[in-house]
Amino acid sequence: AGANLKGYAPICGGQEDFYYRRFVRRVQDCFWRPIASKPDAWFDVVERYSNDSNKTLQRTTKTSRCLNLGSYNYLGFAAADEYCTPRVIESLKKYSASTCSVRVDGGNTKLHVELEELVARFVGKPAAILFGMGYVTNSAIIPALIGKGGLIISDSLNHNSIVNGARGSGASVQVFQHNNPAHLEEVLREQIAGGQPRTHRRWKKIIVIVEGIYSMEGELCKLPEIVAVCKKYKAYTYLDEAHSIGAVGKTGRGVCELLGVDPADVDIMMGTFTKSFGSCGGYIAASKEIIDHLKHICPAHIYATSMSPPAVQQVISAIEVILGEDGSDRGAKKLAQIRENSNFFRSELEKMGFEVLGDNDSPVMPIMLYNPAKMPAFSRECLRQKVAIVTVSFPATPLLLARARICISASHSREDLIKGLEVISKVGDLVGIKYLPVEHEKTTS
């Protein structure tokens, strides 16, 4: 079981995986499920989100309002917005909530075409294609790009939608150590016959899949190094920017902008609209040839109802604000704010002695709890003190690497962040999760 802790979602099963999963289930049965099955263990049913920009929650049972430190609402667009909301309402009147049709058959509105062009321009690729759901974008697109005779090399901590897409593609799958370009090169060298970097004799095609910001780690992808390795071995790069597009980079263009990578060097850019843009759906941006290929053969494009028009309009408006095309500097301010908020919160948590994963600039901030039995205690006590925080463990992480995952928004005010820090500090003492020396201990030791 211990050996398997290296990769959270073992991609290829096998006996070790079988025994690990069995072990985890037994542990869950002993102490976790009885707690988790009680109502009130985690979040309750949400009755409404408040209309202010930090999207506070309203709970049904106790009807108390909480500070939300768990939402992916990175730029605060998932709330009434002076520019976006009137346009979304207008699009609802004009097109209704659903097209009730697939793209190729009456579900292709002017808004869909406009958003595809806008996304391509925003991320710096020649073309883009939309899907109704981010999860489906990965799980349906990967099999449309590669199949039997191809090789997928996937980061060991990639999201479940990527794991499912890779499994469903019929391609061979290899996992490389999380965010480790040297290990990626080792795997590539091993997989290419005779160690010749320029020939793919064994494989029709090789795709390397990584994420911009890892959703459970808060870590930035080592994209420049990974792109260099892929170029050397002529492998395609596939970058999932669910948590980075709109959230990082001076103009919100994600990890390429932040880390100085030319988008032309990333072959397939995937992203979702459920985070920074306050909407739903997903996209793939790539060369015209790849996008045309997907439009012709991808079942999720041909057989699935197109994205809801108001959701499309929400993304168009949010990107316009980010680009300053609404005639204001609100977008630039939001981007500066999320960066300032994230770096402030992360450094304060570290000063308090919490073990925080991830990198500066990342709005995703996991605080290590380790023992999953601490999850309900941490979550409930924070909630009692009116701060809502998501806690995660197996199967999203290894069982004994449980964590509380904080997501920071540009729309959190300094008072919100200070309140959050005070509560987390108190609850952290109560639950016993300050594993690192606190600031004054560090300087005196």
Residues in contact with 17: Cβ distance below 8 Å, sequence separation at least 6, in sequence order? 4, 10
- Beta strands (DSSP E) in 145-212 are 151-155, 172-176, 206-211
Letters for 281-310 (x = contact with ligand PMP by CB under 6 A, - = none) are -x----------------------------
**Of residues 213 and 368, the one with the C-beta less far from ligand PMP:** 213
Among 71, 274, 313, 317, binds ligand PMP (CB under 6 A): 274
Closest by CA position to 278, among listed 83, 3, 62: 83
User: Minimum distance from CB of 214 to ligand PMP (Å)?
Assistant: 8
# residues near ligand PMP by CB under 6 A? 14
Per rule CB under 6 A, is residue 134 in the interface with ligand PMP?
A: yes
DSSP structural state of residue 264: G
The residue number whose beta carbon is nearest to ligand PMP equals 134
User: Minimum distance from CB of 133 to ligand PMP (Å)?
Assistant: 5
Stretch that binds ligand PMP, among 46-54, 127-135, 249-257, 405-413 (CB under 6 A): 127-135
List Cα–Cα distances, 36 to 33, 61, 372, 375, in angstroms.
5, 17, 11, 9
**Of residues 98 and 385, the one with the C-beta less far from ligand PMP:** 98
**Of residues 192 and 245, the one with the C-beta less far from ligand PMP:** 245
**Of residues 81 and 211, the one with the C-beta less far from ligand PMP:** 211
Structure tokens at 377: 């205690």
Stretch that binds ligand PMP, among 61-69, 133-141, 324-332, 334-342 (CB under 6 A): 133-141
User: Minimum distance from CB of 13 to ligand PMP (Å)?
Assistant: 22
Interstrand relation of 65-68 and 57-59 (parallel, antiparallel or unpaired): antiparallel
**Of residues 91 and 161, the one with the C-beta less far from ligand PMP:** 161
Closest by CA position to 211, among listed 139, 146, 158, 141: 158
List Cα–Cα distances, 154 to 10, 243, 364, 369, 442, in angstroms.
11, 18, 21, 27, 38
Letters for 144-183 (x = contact with ligand PMP by CB under 6 A, - = none) are ---------------x-x----------------------
Q: Rounded distance, CA 283 to CA 137, Å?
A: 7
**Of residues 79 and 377, the one with the C-beta less far from ligand PMP:** 79
User: Minimum distance from CB of 139 to ligand PMP (Å)?
Assistant: 9
Q: Rounded distance, CA 231 to CA 196, Å?
A: 13
Letters for 206-245 (x = contact with ligand PMP by CB under 6 A, - = none) are -----x---x------------------------x-xx--
3-state secondary structure of 115: helix
Residues in contact with 231: Cβ distance below 8 Å, sequence separation at least 6, in sequence order? 265
Q: Which residues of 342-354 are buried (b: 16+ CB within 10 A; e: fewer)?
A: bebbbebbbebbb
- Interface residues with ligand PMP (CB under 6 A) are 133-135, 138, 159, 161, 211, 215, 240, 242-243, 272, 274, 282
